[in-house]
Chain A
Amino acid sequence: MTSNTAKALEKTQLTLGIIALTDSAPLVIAKHLGLFQHWGLTVDLALQHSWSTLRDKLQAGLLDGAQMLAPIPLASCTGANSGNALITAFNLSMNGNGITLSKALYREVCQVSDEFEQQTPKLPLTASYLKLAIAKRKQQGLAKLTFAVVHPYSCHFYQLRDWLKSADIDIDSDIDVMVIAPVDMNAALESGDIDGFCVGNPWNAKAVRADIGVTVITSCDIWSQAPEKVLAVSERWQQQNPNTFLALLAAVQQACQWLAEPINRFEAAVILSSSEYLNEELSVVAPSLLDSCLTERGEPPRKVVAYNRFISQEANKPTLTQGYQLLEKMATAGQLNGELSQSQQHQIVKQVYRPDLYIAMQRLLAVS
């Protein structure tokens, strides 16, 4: 079934970059189930420590492909002098992020909610309580709150912005925002360097288990069905390895299909939690894969449907609309350094988003 229909592979030994996050699952599972092998590929998964370095290595050709924050390929194409554009033909995951507040900040929020409505706030938390808490802090002359996100060009940053904006909190003046790597988020929250963060799992669940934070809202509550990570390669690499690229996509598509079955989710959690990948307790890796959002220690978890989504009707096919939506978020966040004309936007989105290659992979899958 492998080689009859597939065209000759240009390259069979690949190194793919991943970051220690639950939504690296499609790549981890494809390797673990032997799906890459099935398509004639020998794949090494190389754990990286920052998104910036992951991107640089991809552009420099030190990695063949990578799990990537959805906005980064677009960001790599905006502005002048883009040497080696990053493209995507596959959405690896949707949703999956959470906003966690430090215990101290959560207590402040509970206090204002108690003063106004004589009850503890319901989750997902409306940002209006946070606004009241911010106003109270100002009155008392307390320091500005600091929130952390994982990268400037990340859905985490845009989701945090949108959540705060829903209560008219001005992200540029009412709070400070900084960037911290996912693995360092919990240490920063515990030390009091930050008051909250927006990050992917297992890092929210870990904060709750360690009783240093309360996860008050998830990305599913802020946006519906947002592409979170994409499978990125450089445009040059795809042009040099067109058949290998389709084989890679086919293997990952089959991994996503496997992940779609609830019965497989716990197995996925076991594999991900091993020392080879996340090296974290199963009790913090499993919840989000099982649609469970840990909220606060001692309180029941909240059901969040599709907390980590790896597949659904057409979910893996990248659409131009998704590209435009992300560009708009980037513009709102003031990251586009001036306006892009409509034709410039069109050009960038068409270069980065390649549904045509996804369709080619589907044809390959259909005949194998």
Chain B
Amino acid sequence: MTKKQEQLTVLVIDDDMARAQSFQSALADTPYQVIHLAHTSMSLLKEVERHQPDIILIDIESPNRDTIESLATISAYNPKPVVMFSDNQMPDMVNDSIKAGVSAYITSDTRPDKAKFILDVAVARFNEFQKLRDELDQAKRKLASRKWVDQAKAILIEQQGMSEQQAYNAIRKMAMNNGQKMEDVAKNMVDMMQLMAGGKQ
């Protein structure tokens, strides 16, 4: 390898000491640095906060799994790639798992020397998924903002007799003058119209 890879912290949550140890030694000369936690239950999120791991490796049978999954679904936390130790051969359900925050599985017949490869793939897959999700969020936000601008345009066309282009220009001008986003100007306009319509009743 020509480029030096940066260090990545792996938090291993597993009560099976032998399994955890064999993966720890398999990762010895790799960029992955292992922190092993066993028999933890309640202060798990504190540990996650303290170590700021880049990857979490957890036993599929651990009661902590729901806590780890909440990292991906409660917005106050930062999602992390999660890799799961499993005794069973989990069929390929990558699409479903990755939605739930699981990026890869390590099964009982996985050889420890494959550990690095699996973690590499998990990180790549996770980053890909996050990117797609961010793009989707952005597209949705754009759509929402267009919705406000469309509504505001409709108001101007109806009430002021403007053409569509005139209405659009008017909103853009007001946004530029006030140093605001067009979406915010449009939203204010729609809110104001609703307020006035409500006041008349």
- A binding-site residues for B, Cβ under 8 Å: 49-53, 55-57, 59-62, 76, 79-84, 150-153, 172, 176-181, 183-184, 187-188, 191, 193-194, 334-335, 337-338
Contact = CB atoms under 8 A, between A and B. Distances in A.
Max chain A C-beta neighbours (<10 A), residue from B41, B97, B136: B41
Interface stretch (B87-95, B170-178, B186-194): B87-95
| Closest CB pairs A-B (n = 3) | A181-B63, A179-B70, A81-B95
Given A52-B65, A337-B136, 4 more contacts: A56-B97, A60-B88, A60-B91, A187-B42
A60 B90 contact: yes
A49 B63 contact: yes
B57 to A, nearest CB: 15
Given A49-B63, A180-B67, A334 B75 contact: yes
Contact of A51 (B64, B66, B102): B66
Contact of A81 (B46, B61, B96, B137): B96
Contacts of A55: 100
Interface of B: 41-43, 45-46, 60-67, 69-70, 73-76, 88, 90-91, 93, 95-97, 99-100, 102, 133, 136-137, 140
B93 A62 contact: no
A150 B41 CA distance: 13
A179 B90 CA distance: 25
Contacts of B64: 50, 181
A61 B88 CA distance: 11
Contacts of A151: 66, 69-70
7 contacts: A49-B62, A50-B62, A53-B61, A181-B66, A191-B43, A193-B42, A337-B140
B88 A62 contact: yes
Contacts of B95: 81-83
Contacts of B63: 49-50, 181, 183-184
A152 B72 CA distance: 10
A285 to B, nearest CB: 19
A181 B67 contact: yes
Given A59-B93, A62-B88, A179-B66, A188 B60 contact: no
A82 B96 contact: yes
Contacts of A150: 66
Contacts of B90: 56, 60, 62
A80 B63 CA distance: 27
Contact of B99 (A79, A172, A188): A79
A80 B64 CA distance: 26
Nearest to B61: A49
Contacts of A193: 42-43, 46
B61 A152 contact: no
A184 B41 contact: yes
A338 B133 CA distance: 11
Nearest to A186: B42
Given A50-B66, A151-B66, A56 B100 contact: yes
A355 B69 CA distance: 30
A150 B45 CA distance: 14
